[in-house]
Amino acid sequence: MPISRRTFLKIFGSGLAATGLTEVICKRSGWAASIPSAKIKEAQITHSICPYCGVGCGLVAYTKNGKLVDVEGDPDHPINQGTLCSKGQAVFEVVTSPRRLKKVRYRAPGSDHWEEKPLDWAMQTLAQRVKATRDSSFITKSPGGVTVNRTEALASIGGAALNNEECYLLAKLSRALGIVYLEHQARL
Amino acid sequence: MTNHWNDIANSDCVMIIGCNPAENHPISFKWITQAQEKGAKLIVVDPRFTRSAAKSDLFVRLRPGTDIALMGGLIHYILEKNLFHKEYVINYTNASFVINKDFGFHDGLFSGFNPEKHAYDTATWGYQTGPDGKPLTDPTLTDPHCVFQLLKAQYARYTPEMVAITTGVPKEVFLKMAATYAATGQPGKSGTVMYAMGGTQHSTGVEIIRSYTIVQQLLGNMGVAGGGINALRGENNVQGSTDMALLFNLVPGYLVAPMEAAHPTLKDYLDKNTPKASFMINMPKFFVSLLKAFWGDAAKKENDFAYDYLPKAGAGFQGAGYSWIPLFEAMGAGIIKGILVWGMNPAVSSPNLNQTYQALDKLEWLAAFDLWETDTSVFWKRPGADPKKIKTEVFLFPAADSLEKEGSASNSGRWVQWRYQAVKPHGDAQSDLWYANRLGLELQKLYKGDPKAVFPAPIVNLNWNYGAAPDVHQVAKEVNGYTVADKKQVLNFLALKDDGSTACGCWIYSGSYPGPDKKNNLMARRDKKDPSGIGLYSNWSWAWPVNRRIIYNRCSADPAGQPYNPKRVLVRWDPAANAWKNNDVPDFGWINPATKAQIPPEVSAKTPFIMLPEGKSRIFVPGGLCKEGPFPEHYEALECPFHNPMSPVQSNPVVKIWKSALSQLAEVCDPRFPIIATTFRVTEHWQGGAMTRNLAWQAEMMPEMFVEMSPSLAKAKGIKAGDWVKVKSIRGEVLARADVTHRVAPFCCGTGGFQNTVEMVALPWHFGFAGLITGGPNGHNYAANQLAPEVGDANTMIPEYKVFLVNLEKA
């Protein structure tokens, strides 16, 4: 049986009354109380995990036409059960902040300012720097004749804010380059 | 964490020591509160009266850095009053093992100390063995050389009086704490220890955590629901980044990174790292499968599966390895020329920041991948620096946020949870997956095109087939592992081989994606039913290893397989059915994989800790695995206003002291720096601050740098609440507003004529010099770590952020 909006609201309303929660939930009076907030109405739902501490709270991101309209705690998540702390509630601003970087910034040696650069140029130039540093410092054998194939002039730090698959690719690439100065937030 | 967040609700007593979950892991406190509502006691041990302390049944104000003295006192109390879980201790720990007769402890040092080398010869730190090579044991625990008797002797000095003198905790508070926590030693009761950087960031960090684990072993709290030793991870995927080994000393899955001295060849590596017993006899399968995942067809039996392609670690800078402090010392010495920085802000988070800045100035290039301009990416514009003199070339790449990409993150409880992309990244921003992949592709292009390239093989032969737009599912499947011939996903790590027929990027994640399709991605599971009734949620996401929620769970049941607490069953042997009935995935051999025959409980009761060769948990750590000794002994922090009351040895005798112009230490009881300082975090901000100091909401809630000081210190210095003050250590200074509060208090410690009262101040470490807010008026650097010392724990080189000496004055 199709449930009309009116029937649904009736059932919902009586259900609330039965649980005695009407006054708690229905801060607004009348039908308005049971209408979902316009912000997330008809929004698309995406599940995620909070990017801050290690509790791993579930998030629900609401989007409309590709734009983020709200982020809330995931009510189905066993750990946070819909709740979030002050940082978790700020995830919305992490995405929408005007301070977020949109272009590659480059600072030449001795310069006192940034320049914007194309992404392709920056990736190619960085690869050249990595290769030049690696090749000019590469140690193939130790003084004792052991094959060591490492560089001590290149370092890579960070990764605790990344996804596992990203960390894995970095772990793989840095070993391929012979990097031994490899560190991240686990020690800090 | 050996356990997980929801499980805390099962505890009878929660001990929070060296962390502040109400502030720093706020949602986790829901589960502590649930435990309390069911009658559990909450003990909070901290130098500061924190938000967690405000919810506690008992607050224990501990002088920072004296955890071992407090835990040693607790061990002494448990043994003296006979409150340990006897059956558990005899059967599941190494308490009954008989130790080398020449092992001993005298005047603050264990046997074998070499004062010139500041190191131990650990020959006497081992088990006595029988003719079969197996350790000798005395299940009566009476042999004078057995671990149990040595433990008693070691902590005989740690009386309630000595605890008070050393830690500043009054005797009656200590006794109340000891009685409350030791009550969890009754069979069926559980107590949990929650800790974080307040426990680890000390020159004795490893031994501090060891002291917590000894208490947990004595009370039978490991492997049980509501128990365990639980490290509260501070970043959403620092568990995963550690599992994936973005660390110098490991390769993915906690396998040892090859070392030049010990492992010149694959044979050396496998021989030296494969134990004679324990589950880790399978290690060669995991390691060879890793080499196959890295180098694919180029990893062949004939070339030792490309073992030479992996870098072999040397001694590191000044023989101190490649970890954080030596890394920045090597950079300062001009050895490191270029660095990749992935979402990290060392210009705020590194210790002794003035050394860090000088090191960054010496780099030829720095590439940062981040959401924002961080303090690190603009180190050349920091207050007091002249950009013209800094020749470092800097690239700052715009990165995608967690809602702008797809992939998995591992929480503190080892739950590996999938998150989906909600929106596209801004402008040119890309995921770190895309950046890593593209950098690899560009390098392959350069190395293929340059006949003069140095040793290009590991790069050009790298198994790097992710295309221009890498698919995160392809990477996740590689991490899970597959058979090489037909590219079929393996079910879990039991299917891995050491003959090159399987590939697996991280063996402990094997089983997370055991099939070809997205529906096989177990990390994405969202079944919120909990048939266990004790919050295991076994079908929500996936936990490593093999979806086990509580590790060492054999210990939740007695040797006959009967649960110590029938209301909190993890595993249970049903004698009528001759079979195990399990709520959790058993952490022991319970079924023969070939015949499917059930293995009776007597077998697993002999080796409940399957990852250790002796099969029992270690109250005594043999063989020098902990460099300071087999038992934790109290030593003072390197910068300390008290002489060590426990022994004539003032500080950790095997710690490395860095000696350079920028790496100075105050003297013991230094009159120039008479105040103890410690650092902490606030709920509104996060780590180095880039993720919160750039947000308007967070900035408004917690806008300024401050220093907590007691009313007595404020009065003595003529400082009023809200005044700007200058806090100075021997290494640097920082401006902060005075927060005059009873949250901090002076400590009265020391013996007889040496008794003294010393003030303590505490500083949040999130602030800096860049971002929407910095911590105060522009033009200053508000990073607390300008004060912190470059002293590292002897095992891990984790910096001693949590205790150092300062002075302060009104600015």
Q: What is the pLDDT of residues A89-120, one digit of tens each?
A: 999 999 999 999 999 999 999 999 999 999 99
Cis previous bond, B26, omega within 30: no
**What pLDDT does A24 receive?**
46
Alpha carbon of B432: minimum distance to chain A alpha carbons (Å): 6
Report yes or no: B687 and A185 within 8 Å, Cβ to Cβ.
Answer: yes
The confidence score (pLDDT) of residue A32 equals 56
Bridge partners of B680, per DSSP, are B764
Measured distance CA(B710)–CA(B28) in Å, rounded:
29
**DSSP secondary structure letter of residue B98:** B
Chain A residue whose CA is closest to B251: A171
- In chain A, the number of structural domains is 3
Spatial contact of B788 and B351, defined as CB atoms under 8 Å apart: yes
Domain that holds residue A83: 37-100
CB-CB: which of B396, B476, B535 is closest to A101?
B396
Q: Do A163 and B442 lie within an 8 Å CB cutoff?
A: no
Partner-chain contact A105 B396, CB within 8 Å: yes
Classify residue B184 by burial, with Cβ atoms within 10 Å: 0-12, 13-18, 19+: buried
- The whole-angstrom separation of Cα B443 and Cα B466 is 14
Task: Tell me which chain A residue has its CA closest to the CA of residue B335.
Answer: A153
What string of DSSP letters covers B474-524?
HHHHHHH-EETTT-PBPSSGGG--SSSSEE-S-GGGTTSS-SSSGGG-GGG
Whether A93 and A159 map to the same domain: the answer is no
Q: Which two tokens stand for residue B751?
A: 């013996």
The SS3 of residue B255 is strand
CA-nearest of B185, B154, B236, B194 to B78 is: B185
- Report d(CA B214, CA B15) in Å as an integer: 14
Strand partners of residue A139: A150
In the predicted model, residues of chain B with pLDDT beneath 50 are none
pLDDT for the residue numbered A26: 43
- How much helix, strand and coil, in percent to the nearest 5, is found in chain B? 30, 20, 50
Q: Which amino acid is at A139?
A: I
Which residues in chain B have their CB less than 8 angstroms from residue A153's CB?
A: 335-338
Cβ–Cβ < 8 Å for B540, B528: yes
How far A159 CA lies from chain B's nearest CA (Å)?
Answer: 6
Residue B778 identity (one-letter amino acid): N
Q: Does A83 touch chain B (CB under 8 A)?
A: yes
User: How far apart are alpha carbons B174 and B187 in whole angstroms?
Assistant: 23
Residues A145 and A110 in one domain: yes
Res A1: pLDDT: 42
- Say how far apart CA B150 and CA B143 lie, in whole Å: 9
- Same-domain status, A95 and A141: no
Alpha carbon of B590: minimum distance to chain A alpha carbons (Å): 29
| Whether residue A177 sits in one domain with residue A149 | yes
H helices of B722-773, in order, are: none
The reply to whether A50 and A82 lie within a common domain is: yes
Confidence (pLDDT) at B473: 98
The answer to whether A88 contacts chain B (CB < 8 Å) is yes
Handedness of CA B142, B145, B147, B151 (dihedral sign): positive
Chain B CB contacts of A146 under 8 Å are 260-261, 264, 312
Per-domain residue ranges of chain B: 5-231, 238-314+471-520, 317-458, 675-810
Q: What is the pTM of this model?
A: 0.95
3 state SS for chain A: CCCCHHHHHHHHHHHHHHHCCHHHHCCCCHHHHHCCCCCCCCCEEEEEECCCCCCCCEEEEEEECCEEEEEEECCCCCCCCCCCCCCHHHHHHHHHCCCCCCCEEEECCCCCCCEEECHHHHHHHHHHHHHHHHHHHCEEECCCCCEEEEEEEEEEEECCCCCHHHHHHHHHHHHHHCEEEEECHHHC
Within this chain, do residues A27 and A86 fall inside the same structural domain, yes or no? no
B317-458 has which CATH code? 3.40.50.740
User: Chain A partners of B469 at a C-beta cutoff of 8 Å?
Assistant: none
Task: State how far residue B253 is from chain A, nearest Cα, in angstroms.
Answer: 11
A43 close contact with B: CB closer than 8 A: no
State the helix-helix crossing angle for B432-448 and A119-137, rounded to 10 degrees.
Answer: 60
pLDDT band at A35 (very low <50, low <70, confident <90, very high): low
For residues A179 and A111, state if they share a domain.
yes
On whether any CB of chain B is under 8 Å from the CB of A146, the answer is yes
pLDDT above 80: residue A8: no
Same domain, A43 and A71: yes
CB contact under 8 A, B695 and A175: no
Q: Cα–Cα distances in Å, from B462 out to A165, B76, B474, B740?
A: 17, 55, 16, 58
Give the nearest chain B residue to A148 (CA atoms): B312
Domain edge (last residue) among A52, A77, A100: A100
Do A46 and A6 lie in one domain? The reply is no
| Main-chain dihedrals φ then ψ at residue B355, nearest 5 degrees | -70, -45
- Chain B residues whose CB is inside 8 A of the A186 CB are 238, 241-242, 246-247
pLDDT for position A41: 87
Which ipTM score applies to this complex? 0.98
Q: In Å, how far are A45, B99, B127 from B130, measured between CA atoms?
A: 64, 12, 10
Report whether pLDDT(A17) > 90.
Answer: no
How far is residue B550's CA from residue B192's CA, in Å, rounded to a whole number?
13
Nearest residue in B to A115, CA atom: B395
In CATH, what is the architecture of B675-810?
Answer: Beta Barrel (2.40)
- The Cα-based distances of B414 to B231, B489, B548, B565 in angstroms read 11, 22, 9, 24
Whether the CB-CB separation of B235 and A188 falls below 8 Å is answered with: no
Whether residues A71 and A122 fall in one domain: no
- Which residues of B fall within a CB distance of 8 Å from A177? 443, 458-459
Q: What confidence category does residue A171 fall into, taking pLDDT thresholds of 50, 70 and 90? A: very high
Distance of alpha carbon B211 from alpha carbon B627, whole angstroms: 14
The fold adopted by the segment(s) B5-231 is Dimethylsulfoxide Reductase; domain 2 (3.40.228)
Token output for B750: 């020391």
pLDDT of A54-91, one tens digit each? 999 999 999 999 999 999 999 999 999 999 999 999 99
Question: What is the band of A13 on the pLDDT scale with cuts at 50, 70, 90?
Answer: very low
Which pLDDT score, from 0 to 100, does residue A39 have?
Answer: 84
A176 vs B contacts (CB less than 8 Å)? 294, 309, 440, 458-459, 462
Residues of A in contact with B505 (CB under 8 A): 168, 172
Question: Any chain B CB within 8 A of the CB of A105?
Answer: yes
- The answer to whether B393 touches A108, Cβ cutoff 8 Å, is yes
State how far residue A72 is from chain B, nearest Cα, in angstroms. 13
Q: Which pair of structure tokens corresponds to residue B631?
A: 């038992």
**CA of residue B217 relative to chain centroid, distance:** 19
Characterise B454 by phi-psi region: left (phi > 0), alpha (psi -120 to 50), beta (else): beta
Look at residue B753 in the predicted model and tell me its pLDDT.
76
Q: Say how far apart CA B172 and CA B178 lie, in whole Å.
A: 10
